[in-house]
Amino acid sequence: GENVEQHPSTLSVQEGDSAVIKCTYSDSASNYFPWYKQELGKRPQLIIDIRSNVGEKKDQRIAVTLNKTAKHFSLHITETQPEDSAVYFCAASTTRVIQGAQKLVFGQGTRLTINP
Amino acid sequence: GAVVSQHPSWVICKSGTSVKIECRSLDFQATTMFWYRQFPKQSLMLMATSNEGSKATYEQGVEKDKFLINHASLTLSTLTVTSAHPEDSSFYICSARTSGSMPFFGPGTRLTVL
């Protein structure tokens, strides 16, 4: 089955600097890669996602890159703000209709702290 | 976006009792629902996948007789933790999706077993 590795586990950056979180996946059949932001005690919130037919996607200060060959994808947050502080999770899934598929497998999470 | 609710939002129970958690898709029909468990400072671990009208598919290491899942309709799935013990204390989160869509997460249920 799919295995997703996420690094680093903690990340501290100064306000205004950029933050990068990296993930690798194992299943070449995975073709959907979302990123979630989770605040304490809350549900994961989708912040950006990318499908395998695209190498990069950007939404304001957030961007995601995907390297299918190397099986890794990264989250980039620019001009970080204190409200970006949270735990971020990457995940991988296949959208193929196969029994047991279409489930999200999550990385271990990165606790991001933005220092004012 | 689509709305998924969970009930209750938190529950405290005594060891040995059973607890039922509901997951509802409020404005769409969910062909598939997923149940996750999240321990403090850890990631979301998939427990099982349920499709309406069929038996749930459990992940390796998850006891199907302890975590009973019923997906009786396209808008409701329930997770029953039977004979709960303190080690079952966790944050339980469901997600729901239609075929081809991304999943939508519920707000989670905090279970504390005394």
**Start-end of H helices in B1-114:** none
Residue A92 has pLDDT above 70, yes or no: yes
H/E stretch holding B19: strand B19-25
Tokens of A63: 């961007």
In Å, how far is A59's CA from the nearest CA of chain B?
18
Residue A115 has pLDDT above 50, yes or no: yes
Query: What pLDDT, on a 0 to 100 scale, did the predictor assign at position A2?
Result: 87
Check A43 against B46: CB less than 8 A apart: no
Interface test with A, best of B105, B111, B112 (most A CBs within 10 A): B105
Give which of A6, A1, A70 is closest to A34, Cα–Cα: A6
Give the percent of chain A with pLDDT over 90.
81
In Å, how far is B107's CA from the nearest CA of chain A?
5
Bond before B8 cis per omega within 30 degrees: yes
Mean pLDDT of A81-101: 81
Check B106 against A105: CB less than 8 A apart: no
Mean pLDDT of A72-80: 98
In Å, how far is A80's CA from the nearest CA of chain B?
23
Check A104 against B95: CB less than 8 A apart: yes
CA distance A85 to A13: 10
Give the start-end residues of each E strand in chain A: 4-7, 10-14, 19-25, 32-38, 45-51, 56-59, 62-67, 72-77, 86-92, 105-106, 110-115
Residues in chain B: 114
Check A107 against B43: CB less than 8 A apart: yes
**Nearest CB to B44; choose among A42, A44, A102:** A44
Give the percent of chain B with pLDDT over 70.
99
Query: What pLDDT, on a 0 to 100 scale, did the predictor assign at position B53?
Result: 80
Query: What pLDDT, on a 0 to 100 scale, did the predictor assign at position A96?
Result: 62
Query: What pLDDT, on a 0 to 100 scale, did the predictor assign at position A97?
Result: 55
Query: What pLDDT, on a 0 to 100 scale, did the predictor assign at position A113?
Result: 98
Instruction: Give the tens place of pLDDT for each residue, B11-61.
Output: 999 999 999 999 999 999 988 999 999 999 999 999 999 988 888 999 999
**Nearest CB to B108; choose among A34, A43, A102:** A43
Check B57 against A100: CB less than 8 A apart: yes
Q: Is A16 left (phi over 0), alpha (psi -120 to 50) or beta?
A: left
Alpha-carbon distances of B102 from A11, A92, B33, B37, B44, rounded to whole Å:
28, 12, 11, 19, 17
Average pLDDT of the residues of chain A: 92
pLDDT-based confidence at A99, cuts 50/70/90?
Answer: very low
Check B102 against A42: CB less than 8 A apart: no
Give the percent of chain B with pLDDT over 90.
79
Query: What pLDDT, on a 0 to 100 scale, did the predictor assign at position B102?
Result: 83
Check B102 against A34: CB less than 8 A apart: yes
Higher pLDDT, B99 or B8: B8
Tokens of A83: 């409200």
* Residue B101 in contact with partner chain A when CB distance is under 8 A: no
> Which residue of chain A comes nearest to B42, CA vs CA?
A108
Give the percent of chain A with pLDDT over 70.
94
Query: What pLDDT, on a 0 to 100 scale, did the predictor assign at position A95?
Result: 65
Residues near A86 by Cβ (< 8 Å), separated by ≥ 6? A37, A38, A39, A111, A112
Tokens of A52: 């395998």
